[in-house]
């Protein structure tokens, strides 16, 4: 049978359907009751909905079974049994992914990491943290705050996403500019392969040049070759001083000049340089009702954060930066956060965009790496394209509400979001593959940080060569010869 969310996909009959015998096996090893979300869940009515449906309510699967192992050994038993019985599975963390990768397409079993949530160890000298995959990012960061350290990743979904999910998507987030990617910060991984093999590569070493670095395959692998059960991560000292400036800019040309100035004047203390266009801030204002940080309206806004060890020194530097860019008319107006509450509230204007724009219905999301000089042209061209197709307008007869652009300017990463009243074929057809062709022409990436999942499955060829795709398929076949791990997704 086919799925209404994925009209072009058909359930592969090679996978078994779940039987009561399977459920009995899982109950035997995990415990739990069919009616309770505990260990094994089956037909638990509404409770399954949260596992079947993604954050955007765009992708929906039909799983009948969610298993929640508590340990690596339990994951190993579950996967081995699934592999022997041709039962397809989807690893799921906080289910905050934005490409439909974390939910089943048909009736794949969801393996949730929810109950694997122990902080295993932390070494204050090296900053090395070892955690179970199901730990929530914010919980881990709060734990680290008590130890004067910080997790080297932060993002808007921190209250729900799991560390395992972050690593599986190689999430980038708000401070990649400062702390770098998880490919560098993750020191070790413990994972389970589909046949139940436990891969114990939970190294705590910064340096280890002993052959292929296989853990990297799990980082950003999106659950297609194995299930990550634990990770060790190197965490920096928590900065003593965090300062934030928020400012309005009249053109994208000037945004680029402001970025050059920020790098040059703030250098070692710069920890984020984020971009928000005027429309994105209008929507945040409209939905939250919060007072705007600046009077008047500007076509672009930037949020600059510094993280350092001396509040006075950092404050002075940021103040001087703002004065200088305003003096040279690069920036029209700006404000500095005076305390922690203001830091949080200014960040809200950036971090709150995804949630605010979700209030209008749905969103077509494009998460793109684009050479900086052309980063914003795509937003303008998309607006023109949808307008000339008659798809965007103020009333219900138009599917599109508007087009916003924002993102991690410091990483050349644009989030192009098309807000719709309802998901509609004609909008998708106007945007895809046009957006991907646009990206390919500029040698960009069709997924900077969210991954491919099912959303970009058909488009990987716009960013990867045939040779690269063939090598990826060979790796998939080697690790998951029966193809039970997260099927129907990008590989």
Please report, as ranges, the residues that interact with ligand 2HG according to CB under 6 A: 98, 156, 353-354, 365, 367, 415, 417
188 interface partner picked from ligand FAD, ligand 2HG, none, CB below 5 to 8 A per type = none
3-state SS class at 300: strand
Phi, psi of 33 (to 5 degrees): -130, 145
Instruction: Considering the complex, state which of residue 347 and residue 479 has its C-beta at the smaller distance from ligand 2HG.
Output: 347
Q: Regarding beta strands 413-420 and 362-369, do their DSSP bridges make them parallel or antiparallel, or are they unpaired?
A: antiparallel
Q: Is 258 a residue that touches ligand FAD (CB under 6 A)? A: no
- Taking CB within 5 to 8 Å according to partner kind, which of ligand 2HG, ligand FAD, none is near residue 352? none
Give the bridge partners for 41, in sequence order: 66
What is the C-alpha radius of gyration for the chain, rounded to an integer number of angstroms?
A: 23
Query: What's the burial of 211, exposed, middle or buried (CB within 10 Å: 0-12/13-18/19+)?
Result: exposed
Rounded CA gap, 462 and 432, in Å?
A: 11
The answer to whether the CB of 157 falls within 8 A of the CB of 138 is: no
Q: Which is nearer to ligand FAD, 52 or 96 (CB)?
A: 96
Question: Cα–Cα distance between 139 and 150 in angstroms, integer?
Answer: 11
Subset of residues 138 to 197 that bind ligand FAD, contact rule: CB under 6 A: 155-157, 161-162, 164-166, 168-169, 171-174
Tokens (6 digits) for 200: 């114990």
Rounded to a whole number of angstroms, the minimum distance from the CB of residue 299 to ligand FAD is 23
The CA-based angle 171-172-175, given to 5 degrees, is 140
- At its nearest, how many Å lie between ligand 2HG and the CB of residue 30? 33
417 binds, among ligand FAD, ligand 2HG, none (CB under 5 to 8 A by kind): ligand 2HG
By a kind-dependent CB cut-off of 5 to 8 A, residue 415 interacts, out of ligand FAD, ligand 2HG, none, with: ligand 2HG
Residue 420, classed as helix, strand or coil, is strand
Residue among 39 and 97 whose Cβ is closer to ligand FAD? 97
Contact 89, 82 (CB under 8 A): yes
Decide: helix, strand or coil at residue 164: helix
Name the binder of 365 from ligand FAD, ligand 2HG, none, CB < 5-8 A by kind. ligand 2HG
**Residue listed under structure tokens 């063939």:** 470
Considering beta carbons, is residue 224 or 280 the nearer one to ligand 2HG? 280
Nearest CB to ligand FAD, comparing residues 321 and 459: 459
Q: How far is CA 462 from CA 265, 366, 446, 456, in A?
A: 37, 13, 7, 10
Query: Rounded to an integer, what distance in angstroms lies between the CA atom of residue 368 and that of residue 447?
Result: 5
Q: How many residues bind ligand FAD (CB under 6 A)?
A: 38
Binding partner selected for residue 90 from ligand FAD, ligand 2HG, none, CB under the kind-specific 5 to 8 Å limit = ligand FAD
Instruction: Report the partner that residue 486 touches, choosing among ligand 2HG, ligand FAD, none (CB closer than 5 to 8 A by kind).
Output: ligand FAD
Pair 60, 5: CB distance under 8 Å:
yes
- Which residue of 39, 61, 69, 93 would you call a contact of ligand FAD, by CB under 6 A? 93
**C-beta closer to ligand FAD: residue 117 or 169:** 169
Pair type for strands 227-234 and 270-277: unpaired
Residue in the block written with tokens 């905050």: 96
Q: How far is the CB of 352 from ligand FAD (least distance, A)?
A: 9
Residue with Cβ nearer ligand 2HG (38 or 355): 355
Which residues, 313 to 372, sit near ligand FAD by CB under 6 A? 354-355
Binding site for ligand FAD (CB under 6 A): 55, 90-98, 101-102, 113, 133, 155-157, 161-162, 164-166, 168-169, 171-174, 222-223, 227-228, 354-355, 449-450, 453, 486
């Amino acid at each position: 049978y086919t799925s209404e969310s994925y009209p072009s996909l058909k359930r592969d009959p090679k996978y078994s359907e779940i039987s009561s015998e399977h459920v009995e096996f899982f109950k035997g090893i995990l415990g739990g009751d069919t009616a309770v979300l505990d260990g094994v869940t089956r037909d638990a009515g509404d409770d399954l909905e949260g596992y079947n449906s993604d954050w955007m309510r765009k992708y929906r699967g039909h799983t009948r079974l969610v298993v929640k192992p508590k340990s690596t050994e339990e994951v190993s038993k579950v996967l081995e049994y699934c592999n022997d019985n041709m039962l397809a599975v989807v690893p799921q963390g906080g289910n905050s992914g934005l490409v439909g990768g974390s939910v089943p397409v048909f009736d794949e079993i969801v393996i949730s990491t929810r109950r694997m949530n122990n902080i295993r160890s932390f070494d204050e000298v090296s900053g090395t943290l070892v955690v179970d995959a199901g730990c929530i990012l914010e919980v881990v960061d709060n734990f680290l705050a008590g130890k004067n350290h910080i997790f080297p990743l932060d993002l808007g979904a921190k209250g729900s996403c799991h560390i395992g999910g972050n690593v599986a998507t190689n999430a980038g987030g708000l401070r990649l500019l400062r702390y770098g990617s998880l490919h560098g910060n993750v020191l070790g991984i413990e994972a389970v392969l589909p046949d139940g093999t436990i891969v114990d590569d939970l190294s705590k070493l910064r340096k280890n040049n002993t052959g292929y670095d296989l853990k990297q395959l799990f980082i950003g692998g999106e659950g297609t070759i194995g299930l990550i059960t634990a990770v060790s991560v190197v965490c920096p000292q928590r900065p003593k001083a965090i300062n934030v400036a928020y400012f309005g800019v009249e053109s994208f040309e000037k945004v680029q000049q402001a970025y050059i100035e920020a790098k040059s004047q703030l250098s070692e203390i710069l920890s984020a340089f984020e971009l928000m266009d005027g429309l994105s801030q209008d929507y945040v204002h409209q939905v939250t009702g919060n007072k705007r940080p600046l009077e008047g309206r500007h076509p672009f806004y930037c949020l600059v954060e510094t993280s350092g060890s001396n509040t006075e020194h950092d404050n002075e530097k940021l103040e001087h930066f703002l004065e200088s860019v305003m003096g040279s008319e690069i920036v029209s107006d700006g404000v500095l956060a005076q305390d922690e509450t203001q830091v949080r509230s200014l960040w809200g204007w950036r971090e709150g965009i995804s949630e605010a724009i979700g209030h209008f219905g749905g969103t077509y999301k494009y998460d793109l790496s684009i050479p900086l000089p052309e980063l914003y042209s795509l937003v303008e061209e998309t607006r023109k394209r949808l307008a000339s197709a008659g798809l965007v307008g103020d009333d219900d007869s138009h599917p599109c509400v508007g087009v916003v652009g924002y993102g991690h300017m410091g990483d050349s990463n644009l989030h192009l979001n098309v807000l719709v009243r309802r998901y509609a074929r004609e909008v998708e057809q106007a945007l895809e593959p046009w957006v991907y062709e646009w990206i390919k022409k500029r040698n960009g990436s069709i997924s900077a940080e969210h991954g491919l999942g099912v959303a970009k499955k058909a488009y990987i060829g716009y960013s990867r060569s045939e040779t690269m795709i063939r090598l990826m398929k060979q790796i998939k076949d080697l690790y998951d010869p029966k193809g039970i791990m997260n099927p129907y997704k990008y590989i």
